[in-house]
Amino acid sequence: AQSVAQPEDQVNVAEGNPLTVKCTYSVSGNPYLFWYVQYPNRGLQFLLKYITGDNLVKGSYGFEAEFNKSQTSFHLKKPSALVSDSALYFCAVREVKAAGNKLTFGGGTRVLVKP
């Protein structure tokens, strides 16, 4: 079975400071990993994904994430947060050999960037 944990319900950060949203995963084989963002009253938007190759993945809106196989983590980062980054962030995993592309999502982390 595959699972995802986002240990923080909420992250507060001042505008201009670095932002990190944590994610750890569990799969029996190799993972595909994803980050999605949900702005207020909007559907989920794809941010970035790790499939294979370079452990540092760059995505939309200046976000990046680092895949760490030994720590089974895929933390989302942004060097300088903006107020407009305030949203709900979801990490998701799919085991490479799993049938179809069924994703398992974490519980979500709310990010609040204060001016």
Tell me which DSSP letter residue 61 carries: G
Q: What share of the chain is helix, strand, coil (3-state, %, to 5)?
A: 5, 50, 45
CB 36 within 8 A of CB 21: no
CB 78 within 8 A of CB 51: no
Residue 90 sits in the site that holds another protein (CB under 8 A): yes
Smallest distance, another protein to C-beta of residue 59, A:
11
Contact stretch for another protein (CB under 8 A) within 29-37, 53-61, 67-75, 76-84: 29-37
Closer Cβ to another protein, 82 or 103, answer by number? 103
Residue 58 sits in the site that holds another protein (CB under 8 A): no
Q: Which residues are at the interface with another protein (CB under 8 A)?
A: 4, 6, 9, 32, 34, 36, 41-46, 49, 51, 90, 92, 94, 100-108
